Amino acid sequence: RITSRDDELAALRAENEELKFKLSQTADQRRRAIAIDQLLRITPPQDYKVIPAQVIAIGNTGDFRWTITVDAGSKDGITMNTTVVAGTGLVGRVIQVAEDYAIASLLIDANVKVGVRLEGSGEIGFLSGTGAIDRLTLQVFDPYAKMPIGARIFSWGSDTGKPYMPGLPIGRISSVDGAAGQLNRTATVIPSVDISNLEIVGIVISAKRDVIRKALQIPSE
């Protein structure tokens, strides 16, 4: 038979579950607030602005095995080949646009290649996706160029922001394969953006377009 002790235990379990739920909600809000705050710090090229979007799906599209779908589309001013960013750096570019959503290829995709510059030296080269979420491959034009471990990599891009906005963090060099002078010398780069927990992104669009999408707001806890 059910005793008052059983009732007390059931009540305690229910209270514990409620507390765990509230804590998880608070953690989610805090993580979202940090992501939004980082996104607000991005400075787009002149005459461009960053439109916020929620990641609603991760999958594959056409030739790309790594893509995201976001809840912003043509009605929000999104167009093809626009840059997609997170608060910590470059995410990818828009490859499909519908009225209410858009699909972007991710930097980590094996079919993606981005022009980049090395921090400090300004050496230029190309960064390629590997298909893995935790590493990219860098090859610079000058086979004798210094590629120090820990050096940051930034997008080369163009002033129009298409297909990639210039000056965005992409990652840091973690290792170098090959000796100076070898034409096939490469470096492994750890991405700045963690794709595994991507939630809020920004899409760089022309500031001259009429946009109805609401501005970013940091949620209260």
Percentage of the chain with pLDDT > 70? 83
What is the rounded CA–CA span in Å between residue 12 and residue 14? 5
- Identify the helix (H) or strand (E) that includes residue 117: strand 113-118
Provide the Cα torsion 38, 44, 49, 53; round to 10°: -40
Asked whether the whole model's pTM tops 0.85, one would answer no
What is the rounded CA–CA span in Å between residue 17 and residue 15? 5
pLDDT of residue 150: 97
- Identify the helix (H) or strand (E) that includes residue 152: strand 152-155
150 φψ region: left (φ > 0), alpha (ψ -120 to 50), beta (else) = left
The predicted-structure confidence for 66-84, as pLDDT tens digits, reads as follows: 999 999 999 999 999 999 9
pLDDT of residue 32: 75
Show the domains of the chain with their CATH numbers. 113-193 (2.40.10.350)
The predicted-structure confidence for 137-154, as pLDDT tens digits, reads as follows: 999 999 999 999 999 999
Closest CA to 187 of 133, 122, 118, 90: 118
pLDDT of residue 213: 57
